[in-house]
Amino acid sequence: MEPEVKIQRRKTRQIFVGNVPVGGDAPISVQSMTNTETCDVDATVGQIRRLQDAGVDIVRVSVPTMDAAEAFGHIRKQVDVPLVADIHYDYKIALAVAEKGVDCLRINPGNIGREDRIKAVIQCAKDKGLPIRIGVNAGSLEKELQRKYGEPTSDALVESALRHVDILDRHDFQDFKVSVKASNVFMTLQAYRKLSAQIEQPLHLGVTEAGTFRSGTVKSAVALGSLLMEGIGDTIRISLAADPVEEVRVGFDILKSLNLRKKGVNIIACPSCSRQNFDVIKTVNELEARLEDINESVDLAVIGCLVNGPGEAREADVGLTGGTPNNLSYLDGEKSHHVTADNLVDELERMVRAKVKKQREDEAKGIIARSE
């Protein structure tokens, strides 16, 4: 078996968003953002809880008004995941949510206005021990930079970010992370590469306005996957015009594909052809839905025939290869037992859950380390 490639990550300063470390040697965290009306507390809390069930590490909530800031306080009391308040321009909102238990402020200091307002927000962050996220987007660059560059470019994104960084530096504030997002993959890549060479703070990766579930997933996988393989990036958000829960799932799938996080069931499946001895696509789709609640790391191989089946099944924790008259299951690389086609999904689910149960028992005994 090919030895596992370990990505050498860029060394960054570590900050904490609530109890989640970002940067340094911390696991790369997965974020999402609510798309409910923040003033609808019940709807927002419900969505955050669904994101937690999906395994999200950090959740961002838009806080555009003082009424939303008031609602944020009620939301904060009902969930225990770290929350980032997304604020633009109004420094009073930043001060308000700081009093209501926010874990991080997403606000660009250069957009706050007068120096006394900037100083008030930074001092508040210092007093409360809150990090700040600088978030630069190609679609909202400063007018001066738009005139200078004529259009959004990677250099314009980096210059905008460094202006905000300079403000925090002048106020001796170092607990921040930065994003430089564009909807264009190449611009995103170049911006993050350039910025990573100039600051020590952690980078929040993302492709902004990436698009629908399918196209946005592809763009994000290409851009973020490339950066992560280069060791760039400390936390990620997949921006999709879809249910935010899908952002979390896609984020973890990207990290799992690069061996940067191990979470949940990793399904290895053939695309199927006329050699298949059972309906592979139907089987794996049903298994994926049934096994979504599992957070432990398990590799499950489902292959429809004997051509590639045995090889893939032996490398997985739980495996199945199609065969005639019956299919053959594998456990921990060894042949286990035959399974009929009409009992595939139930039996594979049983085997995976038994594997997870044993992992938990071994973990409790200190035999294995907890998966990240």
Q: Is the pLDDT of residue 370 over 80?
A: no
| Residue 39 assigned as binding residue | no
Q: Per-residue confidence at 192, pLDDT binned at 50, 70, 90?
A: very high
Strand-pair category, 58-62 with 83-86: parallel
Mean local confidence (pLDDT), 133-149: 92
Could you read off the pLDDT of 354-366 as tens digits, one per residue? Answer: 999 999 988 888 7
How many Å apart are CA 224 and CA 233, to the nearest integer? 8
pLDDT class of 367 with cuts at 50, 70, 90 = low
Residues sharing a CB contact under 8 Å with residue 20, sequence separation 6 or more, in sequence order: 26, 29, 57, 58, 82
Q: What is the pLDDT of residues 12-24, one digit of tens each?
A: 999 999 999 999 9
For 105, other C-beta atoms within 10 Å of its C-beta total: 26
pLDDT, mean of residues 93-114: 91
Q: Is 281 helix (H, G, I), strand (E, B) or coil?
A: helix
Average pLDDT over residues 338-350: 94
3-state SS assignment for residue 81: coil
pTM over the 0.85 mark: yes
Q: Report whether 270 belongs to an annotated binding site.
A: yes
Q: Where are the alpha helices (DSSP H) in 150-243?
A: 154-170, 185-196, 213-229
Cβ partners under 8 Å of residue 137, min gap 6: 181, 182, 208
pLDDT at residue 369, as a whole number: 59
Residues 6+ apart with CB under 8 A from 169: none
Beta bridge partners of 16: 21
Cα separations (Å) of 21 from 29, 248, 295, 363?
A: 8, 18, 19, 23
Q: Which of 275, 268, 272, 283 is nearest to 341 (CA)?
A: 283
Higher pLDDT, 110 or 124: 124
| Whether domain 265-365 has CATH 3.40.640.10 | no
pLDDT at residue 1, rounded to an integer: 54
Where is pLDDT greater, at 139 or 235? Answer: 235
Gap between the Cα atoms of 195 and 218, Å rounded: 23
Instruction: Note the pLDDT of residue 368.
Output: 59
**Average pLDDT of every residue of the chain:** 93
For position 2, what pLDDT does the model report?
Answer: 61
Q: Is 273 annotated as a binding residue?
A: yes
CB atoms within 10 A of CB 126: 13
> If you average pLDDT over residues 195-216, what whole number do you get?
94
The pLDDT value recorded for residue 115 is: 86
Confidence (pLDDT) at 89: 85
Phi, psi dihedrals of residue 194, rounded to the nearest 5°: -70, -45
Tokens of 143: 């007018």
> Which CA distances in Å does 274 have to 271, 279, 286, 319, 323?
11, 10, 20, 20, 13
pLDDT score recorded for residue 371: 52
Model pLDDT, residue 56: 96
Q: How confident is the model at residue 150 (pLDDT cuts 50, 70, 90)?
A: very high
pLDDT band of 3, cuts 50, 70, 90: low
**Residue 6: its pLDDT value, please?**
86
Q: What are the boundaries of each domain within the chain?
A: 15-258, 265-365
Instruction: Return the pLDDT at 140.
Output: 87
Pick the CATH number of 15-258 from 3.30.565.10, 3.20.20.150, 3.30.420.40, 3.20.20.20: 3.20.20.20
Residue-wise pLDDT for 119-132, tens only, equals 999 999 999 999 99
